[in-house]
Amino acid sequence: MSTKIGIIIRSFSDPFRMKYPFMGLTPETSRIKLPDSRVLYTVLRSPHIDKKSREQFEMRVKKQYMVMKVDARDVEKKFFWLKRQRILGAQFEVRLHTKTRLDRGMLQKLVSLPTSSA
Protein backbone atom coordinates (compact mmCIF):
# COMPACT_ATOMS: atom_id res chain seq x y z
CA MET A 1 0.00 0.00 0.00
CA SER A 2 1.24 3.43 -0.84
CA THR A 3 0.49 6.54 1.11
CA LYS A 4 0.94 10.12 0.00
CA ILE A 5 1.41 12.94 2.45
CA GLY A 6 0.49 16.32 0.99
CA ILE A 7 1.82 19.40 2.76
CA ILE A 8 0.64 22.91 1.96
CA ILE A 9 3.08 25.54 3.23
CA ARG A 10 2.02 29.19 3.52
CA SER A 11 4.52 31.89 4.39
CA PHE A 12 5.22 35.61 3.91
CA SER A 13 8.67 34.86 2.52
CA ASP A 14 9.61 31.99 0.22
CA PRO A 15 10.09 28.96 2.55
CA PHE A 16 12.40 27.20 0.09
CA ARG A 17 14.73 30.13 -0.47
CA MET A 18 16.85 29.02 2.46
CA LYS A 19 19.58 26.53 1.63
CA TYR A 20 18.18 23.50 3.49
CA PRO A 21 14.75 24.27 4.96
CA PHE A 22 13.62 20.63 5.14
CA MET A 23 16.21 18.08 6.11
CA GLY A 24 15.52 14.45 5.29
CA LEU A 25 13.33 14.85 2.19
CA THR A 26 13.19 11.76 0.04
CA PRO A 27 14.23 12.06 -3.63
CA GLU A 28 10.70 11.23 -4.80
CA THR A 29 9.27 14.27 -3.00
CA SER A 30 7.70 16.62 -5.52
CA ARG A 31 7.16 20.33 -5.01
CA ILE A 32 4.38 22.26 -6.72
CA LYS A 33 4.35 26.04 -6.55
CA LEU A 34 0.84 27.41 -5.90
CA PRO A 35 -0.25 30.93 -6.88
CA ASP A 36 0.72 33.70 -4.48
CA SER A 37 -1.99 35.84 -2.92
CA ARG A 38 -1.61 39.59 -2.54
CA VAL A 39 -3.68 41.94 -0.38
CA LEU A 40 -3.28 45.68 -0.90
CA TYR A 41 -4.14 48.21 1.82
CA THR A 42 -4.47 51.95 1.12
CA VAL A 43 -4.21 54.42 4.00
CA LEU A 44 -4.70 58.19 4.01
CA ARG A 45 -1.54 59.93 5.18
CA SER A 46 -3.38 62.82 6.74
CA PRO A 47 -7.07 62.50 7.72
CA HIS A 48 -7.63 66.28 7.74
CA ILE A 49 -6.19 67.67 4.51
CA ASP A 50 -4.60 66.35 1.33
CA LYS A 51 -7.05 63.53 0.67
CA LYS A 52 -5.09 62.62 -2.44
CA SER A 53 -1.98 61.87 -0.41
CA ARG A 54 -2.17 58.15 0.29
CA GLU A 55 0.18 55.36 1.19
CA GLN A 56 -0.16 51.74 0.08
CA PHE A 57 0.93 48.60 1.90
CA GLU A 58 0.79 45.09 0.55
CA MET A 59 0.87 41.66 2.10
CA ARG A 60 2.04 38.74 -0.04
CA VAL A 61 1.51 35.12 0.96
CA LYS A 62 3.53 32.51 -0.88
CA LYS A 63 2.22 28.93 -1.10
CA GLN A 64 3.83 25.65 -2.00
CA TYR A 65 2.48 22.10 -2.10
CA MET A 66 4.78 19.17 -1.36
CA VAL A 67 3.85 15.55 -2.00
CA MET A 68 5.80 12.84 -0.20
CA LYS A 69 5.32 9.20 -1.16
CA VAL A 70 5.76 7.04 1.90
CA ASP A 71 5.27 3.41 2.80
CA ALA A 72 2.28 2.79 5.06
CA ARG A 73 4.57 1.64 7.86
CA ASP A 74 6.58 4.88 7.83
CA VAL A 75 3.67 7.34 8.11
CA GLU A 76 4.06 7.71 11.87
CA LYS A 77 7.79 8.45 11.51
CA LYS A 78 7.11 11.09 8.85
CA PHE A 79 4.48 12.80 11.03
CA PHE A 80 6.98 12.90 13.89
CA TRP A 81 9.57 14.35 11.47
CA LEU A 82 7.09 17.02 10.32
CA LYS A 83 6.38 18.05 13.91
CA ARG A 84 10.12 18.54 14.49
CA GLN A 85 10.60 20.84 11.48
CA ARG A 86 10.89 24.45 12.57
CA ILE A 87 10.53 27.10 9.90
CA LEU A 88 9.67 30.47 11.42
CA GLY A 89 6.76 32.30 9.86
CA ALA A 90 5.37 29.28 8.01
CA GLN A 91 1.99 27.62 8.37
CA PHE A 92 1.57 23.94 7.50
CA GLU A 93 -1.51 22.04 6.40
CA VAL A 94 -1.07 18.26 6.14
CA ARG A 95 -3.28 16.05 3.98
CA LEU A 96 -3.06 12.26 3.96
CA HIS A 97 -4.05 10.17 0.92
CA THR A 98 -4.15 6.40 1.29
CA LYS A 99 -5.08 3.66 -1.15
CA THR A 100 -6.05 0.29 0.22
CA ARG A 101 -6.46 -2.92 -1.68
CA LEU A 102 -9.27 -5.32 -0.81
CA ASP A 103 -8.54 -9.01 -1.23
CA ARG A 104 -10.82 -10.51 -3.92
CA GLY A 105 -11.31 -13.80 -2.03
CA MET A 106 -12.26 -11.95 1.14
CA LEU A 107 -14.73 -9.82 -0.81
CA GLN A 108 -16.42 -12.90 -2.32
CA LYS A 109 -16.77 -14.45 1.14
CA LEU A 110 -18.42 -11.29 2.44
CA VAL A 111 -20.82 -11.11 -0.51
CA SER A 112 -21.75 -14.81 -0.41
CA LEU A 113 -22.59 -14.88 3.31
CA PRO A 114 -26.28 -15.75 3.81
CA THR A 115 -28.31 -12.97 5.33
CA SER A 116 -30.71 -13.87 8.10
CA SER A 117 -34.23 -12.57 7.73
CA ALA A 118 -36.65 -12.42 10.62
Q: Where are the beta strands (DSSP E) in the chain?
A: 2-11, 30-44, 54-71, 90-98
pTM, to two decimals: 0.61
- 8-45 pLDDT, tens digit each: 888 887 766 655 456 566 677 788 888 989 999 998 88
CA angle 70, 104, 101 (to 5 degrees): 15
Name residue 21's beta-bridge partners.
none
118 pLDDT above the threshold of 60: no
Q: In what order do the strands lie in the sheet with 54-71?
A: 30-44, 54-71, 2-11, 90-98
pLDDT score at 1: 59
Tell me the average pLDDT across 60-86: 81
The region that residue 15 occupies, defined by phi over 0 for left and psi between -120 and 50 for alpha, beta otherwise, is alpha
